[in-house]
Chain A
Amino acid sequence: MPEIKVENVSKLIEGKPIVNNVSMEIPDKSFFCILGPPRSGKTMLMRLIAGLEMPDKGRILFDGEDVTALGPVERRVAIAFQDFALYPHLTAFDNIASPLKAMKLPKDEIRRKVLEVARYLKIEHRLTHYPSELSGGEKQRVAIARALVKDAEVILLDEPLVRLDYKIREDMRAELYKIQKEIGKNVILITGDPFEAMSLGERIAVMNEGRIVQLGTMEDIYERPVNVFVGRYFGVVEMNIFDGEIVKMNDVASLRTKIFEIPLKNARNLPEGSVKIGLRPEHMSVLELAGKREVNFRGKIVLTEVVGSDTIVHIDAGLGELLRVSVPAIYRRQIGEEIDVGFDIENLYIFSSKDEKLLARGGDLIG
């Protein structure tokens, strides 16, 4: 039951670092998420943890033991691949049995274990079929069954849901969580979908350009994104980012934008000058639906998108950038109409305009 430690691990491909000096710890028996956009190095980091690749620098420890030179079997790692990676020439049964056959277990034990895991994943009626005869959801279940059957200590799931249909994805997501709780193993999920990471990961590592940008619980990352990238990326609807300025006169500081100005009480640590302001669409509201907020202004509707049961309203409020406002209802308005929107100061994020790092949250500045 290992606690996994990644120490200064780098992996180069053709001289370019795909994973760049990554260090992190993954606590035992947790549901851990590695989240990142495409080409952020998340899959390579998974392959390094799995033992499918050797790092060029650094080492990987399982329970304090150096496993850097060991393969997936010695590390007792199981992997479910994004494209399922089932053996097309073998039936579902033989696919699931494959790791047990490699261990050379007796036949009846293999049979018992395969049936047990197949029953658990509700695919026992499909065991005689070949992968080409299975639906996407069934293939995924077979792939997960193959990972579970061998009693591995760590189960790595490489974007297990992207190849599935919307509805099956929902079911499977819930099931993955349940499975992890029931088997009590370390499950590491690699995903490019922030929503998936938010709903599954107990701890989340956000990757970008080969590095871990932020590691923490979902709440940590959502409430205090370390920089503009994480702020934008980690959210169901992308965070609004626009320019502002910290102005200090005598002892009075304020945050000024093109359309509003907010007095700040505790702005001692903030540098004067231009900053980037972040505001999540779900923290903004349309006044006619939600009543007045601390800061209110008018804007012209440019576009409304209905997403599920929410509506994303894109408005032009004269900030230079369009603002996205998330309305938790179906909200239909004519394009070009003017509406009043608002937000509370505690929900603001202030980022440096130089290195885009988080300087403060609105709540720190007024209380």
Chain B
Amino acid sequence: MSWKKILGFIGLAIYGVWTLGPYYLTVITSFKKLTDVFSIPPKIIPYADFVPTLEAYQRIFSTRAAWTFVTSLIVATIATIIAIIVGLLAAYGFSRFSNAPMNDERSFFILLTLRMLPPFAVVLPIVTYWVFMGLIDTYFALIWTYTIFSIPLAVWLIKGFIDEIPRSVEDAAVADGYGFGARFRKIIIPLLGAGLAATVALVWLFLWNEFLFALKVAGGKVITYTAYLPQLRLGQRTLWNVYAAMGTLGSIPPLIILAAFRRYIIRLYLGGR
């Protein structure tokens, strides 16, 4: 083995411990009793240092905490579906009707601006808006807010994929006798294929992980698992083991998605499309 390779392995090992170490601590913490969480020296090896217990998980499934995952799932999924449908059509418009009035970099930039602003900059007016509408802390408000914030991302990513489909292929479909809807179903969507799937995954992941709007637009009756975490207290104590158990459960869908789409998601991040 050459020195380069050995150095490479050492580098990757350090990086691995750096990134996976905290995640490991989260996972083992979820199997500890609360009293074991803060012991010094830290207990890091299951069975040797501490006896694993499902106490934290039992607590999740016997309280409202379990339902918060369902809420997250419902909200993220519905918002993703709407954002992808709207984003697909908008991206198609941006890509194909480039001669249309106002279809230029400026309108595209304005669309993306919504995404670039820090959420803290816009959360207050949005909350005010939903309070005014009398819809604060409802599924509708959270899904609507999520949809609005996901559309720019969807448009941006999907437009790149549509740009790659030659117009002549679509012209051929027109000549073959396919209407707009059939063209979308039979030509555009199959050709977007994995790229569209990766976009769906990425949009969904952002929403699954979202915290601020979940807490402020909803966070009462309707509460996602991310917004529920700060409530995990017993008197003055934070229930860190339950916290860790929710983090572990919450990380399962992203891990599955990342494993399934890693090639395409890397492409999305590298190329912006």
Interface positions of A (Cβ within 8 A of B): 13-14, 47, 50, 52, 71-73, 77-79, 81-83, 85-89, 98-99, 102-103, 146, 150
| B169 at the binding interface (Cβ < 8 Å) | yes
Instruction: Please name all residues of chain A whose beta carbon is closer than 8 Å to the beta carbon of B177 when the two chains form the complex.
Output: 72-73, 99, 102-103, 150
Instruction: Please name all residues of chain B whose beta carbon is closer than 8 Å to the beta carbon of A13 when the two chains form the complex.
Output: 99
A sample of 16 inter-chain contacts (CB < 8 A) reads: A52-B171, A73-B176, A73-B177, A85-B166, A85-B168, A86-B169, A87-B169, A87-B172, A87-B173, A87-B191, A98-B173, A99-B176, A102-B176, A102-B177, A146-B172, A150-B176
Count of interface residues, chain B, beta-carbon cutoff 8 Å = 17
Complex Cα spacing A146 to B174, Å = 13
B171 touches A81 (CB 8 A): yes
Interface positions of B (Cβ within 8 A of A): 99, 166, 168-169, 171-178, 182, 187, 190-191, 193
CB distance from A236 to the nearest CB of B (A): 29
CB distance from B168 to the nearest CB of A (A): 4
CB distance from B174 to the nearest CB of A (A): 6
B193 touches A89 (CB 8 A): yes
Nearest 10 pairs between A and B by C-beta? Answer: A102-B177, A85-B168, A85-B172, A99-B176, A73-B177, A72-B175, A81-B168, A79-B175, A98-B176, A89-B190
A52 touches B176 (CB 8 A): no
Complex Cα spacing A13 to B100, Å = 11
A102 touches B166 (CB 8 A): no
Instruction: Please name all residues of chain B whose beta carbon is closer than 8 Å to the beta carbon of A14 when the two chains form the complex.
Output: 99
B174 touches A52 (CB 8 A): yes
CB distance from B175 to the nearest CB of A (A): 4
- Knowing A85-B166, A85-B171 are in contact, say whether A146-B176 is a contact too (CB < 8 A): yes
| CB-contact partner of A50 in B175, B178, B182, under 8 A | B175
Instruction: Please name all residues of chain B whose beta carbon is closer than 8 Å to the beta carbon of A71 when the two chains form the complex.
Output: 174
A87 touches B182 (CB 8 A): no
What residue of chain B has the Cβ atom nearest to residue A149's Cβ? B176
A79 touches B191 (CB 8 A): no
CB distance from A23 to the nearest CB of B (A): 24
A87 touches B187 (CB 8 A): yes
Complex Cα spacing A152 to B25, Å = 69
A81 touches B172 (CB 8 A): yes
